[in-house]
Structure 1
Amino acid sequence: METTSRAEPQDAMGGGDETGGPGGHGAAQGVPGARRAVEGYLMAQFPWYGLDEAFTGPRWLMQVGMAADGAVEHGSTGHGDEPSLRGELGGEADQRFTVVVTVASRPGRRSPDGNGMLEATSVSSAAWLAGSGLLSCTWPAQMERALRQDWLEQQTAIAWELADDLDGGGWSTLSLPVDGVPTDFLYRESEYGWVLAGAAPHGVHIGAYGRGMSAYGLGFAVVKDIEGYAERTTPAT
C-alpha cells in the first residue's frame, strides 16, 4: 500500500492529499477547509466507517490518503475532542477522542506508470495507519523538543513492527460490533492510548485509535452522511 510506507506519522494519515491537518486545516485560499476535506471523502469508491449511533458527541473529519493514480485509499473520521499536540501544556491527558480509519481493501497491482507494483492493503495496513495516527497526536509531557524526532523515529519503528506482526504477543483480541455484527479486532494498549484493527464488510479494513475513551463497548457503523462530519456538530439525542 503506497500510502502506508514508513512515512513520518504526521504524513501517514494524509497520503497524497492536500487538505492539511485534522478537519482539513491548511486548505487553499478561498476554499473552506471543511468543504475541501469532505470532497476527498466523496470521491471514495467504498463506504466510510465511524462510531455507531450510541456515540452522541462531536464528529469531525481528518484526511483522505490517495494512491499515485488518484484513487482514494483511506481516510479517518474523528469523534470527541479533536486531538492536538498539547503535551507541553499538560492538556494531552484531558483529551477524549476516538478516530476510526477506513482502508479500502486492494490487491497487489501495477503502479499507474507500469514500472512497479503497489502493495496490497490488509488489516496490517489499518493497524499501521492507526498506530501512526496515535503517534501523530502524542507528545510526552516531559520531553524536550530536541528529543522529539528521535522519539518519533523510535516509536514509529515499533508501530510498524507491531503492525507487521499481528500474530505476535503485542496484540490481544477484542470483539466489537460492526454494523451490528460481532467482529473480532486485534487490540493493544500503551501509555499513550490504544489501537485496534480488523476486517469489515463492504471491502474495507477498519483501524481505530483513541485516548480517554475506552475501546471496550465501542461499535462501528457505515457513515450515512459523511458531509455531516464536516459540520463538526453534536448529533441530537
Structure 2
Amino acid sequence: MRSDPALIGPLLERIAAWRAGHAGLFVLGVCGAQGSGKSTLVATLAERLTQAGVAVAALSLDDLYRTHAERQALAREVHPLLATRGVPGTHDVALGLATIAALERGEAAALPRFDKAADDRVPRGEWPHAPANAQVLLLEGWCLGAKPQDTAALAAPVNDLEAREDPDGVWRVHVNAALEADYQRLFARLDRLLLLAAPGWDVVAGWREQQEAELRQIGGARVMNPAGVARFIQHYERLTRHILSEMPTRADLTVRLGPNREVLELMPGA
C-alpha cells in the first residue's frame, strides 16, 4: 500500500481539497482494523506532505495507551480484561486532547509514544516533537472515530473470550461507556475521517496472525504463539465488526480493501 498510486495520489488530492480554505490545524483521522496498513499509509502521507512543504505531525491512538500500572489498577478495580491494552478505556484521552491543543497553539509539541514490547509508555523525555506551527495532524487508530453500540447489542457475547471471561458483560459495558464519553470529545476534533475497510472480521484475524508470525521468525520480544494471538484478537472483535458495519455510511472516505490489502474501491462519504 505504501506506494500504491491507486490510493496515495488520490488521497493527497483529497487532503489538498479538504484543506482548501481551512484555517488552523487540519486533523485527518485514519481508522483501520489491525493489520490494515494504516500506520504505513500515515507514514507515506506524512513523507509526501513534508516533501510538498507541509508541516506534518503524526500520532497513533496506540501511543495514548494508559501506563501498565494504570491498566493494572483498572483490572483490579473494574475488570481483569482491562489489563490488556487496546479497547476504549485503556487510553489516556486527556493526553491526546492536550497534545492536539498544543499543536493548535503552534507549539513544537511532544508527541506521546508507547513501547509495546515493554507494554508501557515511553518516558516523556524520549518523545519526539512535532514541527512548530504544524499544519496537518495525521491521527490513526483501530477504533478512531467509532460510535458506541446500542445497549441491547451488548447483551450477547460475540466470541469465546466474552462468553468465558466477561459472562456478565461488565467489561463490554465499561468499554462502550468509555467510548460514548471522553473518546467522542477526541473524535470530535477530527476534521475528516478516512476508513480502511477490511473485507471482514475473518480477514482481520488472519492479518493479525500474519503480523505475529513475521515477528516469530525474527525473534521479536513478547511474541505470541497462534493460540495467544487468537485470544488477543478477540478483545478487538466486537468493536471491529461494529465499525465495519456502520462507519462506511458516514466516513468522509472509505477505502475498500481486498484480502491482500489491495485497494478495490474509493467510496466518498454521503
Superposition TM-score tier, normalisation by shorter sequence: under 0.3
- Structure number with greater Rg is 2
More helix by share: 2
TM-score normalized by structure 2? 0.23
More strand by share: 1
